[in-house]
Amino acid sequence: MMDAPGPFFFLVRDGVVTREALAPLLARLPPESYVGTAVRDGEGYDSERWPVARDAALASSLARRFDDPEIGRALTELEHAAGDVTRLRAQARRAGARYLAAAGGEPALLERLWPDATADDLAVFGEPAWAVDTAWVVMNLCSAHHAAADGLYAFHVHRRLPGPSAEAVVRLIRSALDSGRIDLAGLVEAALQLLPGPASWFAVTPSSAARPMIEAIADACAEVRRISGATACAVMSETFVIPGPPGAVHFMILAGPRALVVLELAGSPAWTSRIAGFRARPAPAGAGASARFEPFLGAEARADDRAAAAVAALCGFVEASLAAHLATHPEDEPAFPPVDDAMIGRLFG
């Protein structure tokens, strides 16, 4: 019987991660059972322990860690496809063509792999090739979304195996691990963030353009929670909470003029007194220029300063992210208004 779900089944089987390392994730999952779905005229299946949509979500979470404009465009196109299997198949097919072209493959191979390849797909081979690593990430990202929309087959249910979407995610995981964009603890935390839990809340719904920023802030909070050992980490004001409200607030600090970073902590760790000192330091060159959070813990940072430095980095990341977003989308000002003493009093007074 499959125990580790989805892509983690293959990672445990291949010795990349141990079942013990997955304990926090496995403890929160229900027993395995399968349900029929409406895909493929009612012939599709899905897992209740690890729904295939979670493979697609994990693929997107991993892809966002690659700071590449082509990957960013692929993520946007997948969002616009909105789960439509026909559009997702076309995107996966085109991404496959781009990878084959980048890797030196021939159009005939694409036609064997994708009998429905179009003239536009084949034209990719005559265009300037993408970087192989970029094409590989985009191909597996699109493959994960397409396979998730296509659902599980009776073959997978009968053998209690994950589907093709999980296999595509495994390839992304290996790329992210090999390139240092995530470690195993971060991978488990990323999976935990996909499980049902407190959702982000907004008094005023921001535009759809804010979604990548909101997801990046939620991912950054998860990373800070992992580094610091905090029970919860959130970015909030009176009008929003990302990624969800903590059970209690034991520490808070301004993250620029429009947000607070709040922590729920076990006990009273001494490192919280050092956050303000790290916050006052100049940010490293390029900090805030990328949509990917960097805790910028330099080699000079002591081990017991990692938590404080990570929280300070989150503050800078949130401040830069909100400023950049509102500069191009001022219509979202009501969703992210300035924080003042009166607002803090209403929140915590």
pLDDT digits (tens, 9 = 90+) for 125-157: 999 999 999 999 999 999 999 999 999 999 999
Mean pLDDT to the nearest integer, 265-269: 85
pLDDT greater than 50 at residue 102: yes
pTM of the complete model = 0.64
* Residue 302: φ, ψ to 5°: -70, 155
- Return the pLDDT at 27: 82
Q: Map out the domains of the chain as residue ranges.
A: 6-192, 201-348
Q: Is 130 within 8 Å of 141 (Cβ atoms)?
A: no
- Return the pLDDT at 1: 38
- Return the pLDDT at 289: 47
Chain segment 169-212, per-residue pLDDT in tens: 999 999 999 999 999 988 998 898 888 766 788 999 999 889 88
Half-sphere exposure of 43 (CA within 13 A, CB side): 6
- Return the pLDDT at 284: 53
Chain segment 149-170, per-residue pLDDT in tens: 999 999 999 888 899 999 999 9
Chain segment 301-349, per-residue pLDDT in tens: 566 788 999 999 999 999 999 999 999 999 999 999 999 999 999 988 7
For the range 156-159, what are the long-range contacts, defined as Cβ-Cβ under 8 Å and sequence gap of 24 or more? Answer: 156/45, 157/34, 157/45
